[in-house]
Amino acid sequence: MSLSYFPNGILTPTIVGGGVENPCVGNVFYVGATASGKWVAGVDDPSCGSLGKPFKTIDYAIGKCTANQGDVIYVLPGHTETISAAGGITCDVAGVSIIGLGNGNLRPTITWSATASSWLVTAANVLIKNIITTISVDEVVSMFAVSAAGCTLDTVDFAEYGAKGATGQAIQFLLTTADADELTIKNCYHRQGTAANANQVWINLVGTSHTRILNNTIMITAKAATASICISGSTAVVDAEIVGNRINWLGDTITSVINCVTTSTGIVADNRVMGGAAVLLAGAIVGDAMQFSQNYVTNTAGTASGILAPAGDTVT
């Protein structure tokens, strides 16, 4: 078994569910706002942070981490937290992993409660994994903003729960700056059944290099506008890998679903794209200098399977 450093400096073996060892080399902190089982209700105090006495908020736990030593923050099952302002959670310590514990709806749930609410990633090599995100207000501008390299979002799901879908929509899930190289978004499940009022660019890559968007399911009814795009390289991306995604991007007049601008490079392969009748079968996936393989697109519900997009190559 591996050894992990708790906040009080005691070395202790760490076992994750299912008996799998967690090879943590840095400090381990726990966050849990509500008392349950082995832990009391969390308190943001330096004396807390252990499993028995967790911190209350993720942002406080980040502030107790040390950069680049492999610190891990475990967010306990059933934890709920609200982001009420820009940078309400800010990952500003490099090399930290934030991992939600629990399965299904018992995973930690983070709620964006103001239009300007955001989770910022400003330090390099941050992992965010196994959490549910949702909103409680209409027109959340951009949920995540990433401006540092090496960020990974793994199983960071977005869903409308309860009445939220009828009264509030997110405009954008994630926005980058050009410094967000080596970004990975994988294994996420996003659904939103009501369009926002503003044009929606769900994942907006702004001049990043070596981005990987892999194996996500995105089912969004988006603002009816040609400017609404699911995955966008709005400034040319370099060596991106957009592979294995299943996208249902619905909305009248929407014509493009994956669109990386002129001079973008990389691989776009094995994506399955569905859209409304206006989605262009020949233009749903655009990437200029990118390489395409086995992407399928349909704009007809219930009666037709997809066709290759762009069109298949020919033998010369």
Give the model's pLDDT for residue 239: 97
- CA 126 vs. chain centroid, Å, equals 12
- 226-272 tens-digit pLDDT: 999 999 999 999 999 999 999 999 988 888 999 999 999 999 999 99
Q: What is the CA radius of gyration of the chain?
A: 20
Which residue, 296, 227, 289, is CA-closest to 264?
289
Query: Which residue ranges make up each domain of the chain?
Result: 70-308
CA dihedral for 180, 104, 114, 222, sign (positive or negative): positive
Yes or no: say if 247 and 274 are a contact pair by the CB < 8 Å rule: yes
| Alpha carbon distances (Å) from 2 to 20, 70, 73, 189 | 10, 13, 16, 32
Question: What amino acid occupies position 187?
Answer: N
CA distance 260 to 286: 6
CA distance 142 to 287: 24
Give the model's pLDDT for residue 305: 87
SS3 of 288, please? Answer: coil
Which stretches of the chain score pLDDT less than 70?
Answer: 1-23, 161-167, 316
Give the model's pLDDT for residue 164: 55
Beta bridge partner(s), residue 68: none
Give the model's pLDDT for residue 2: 37
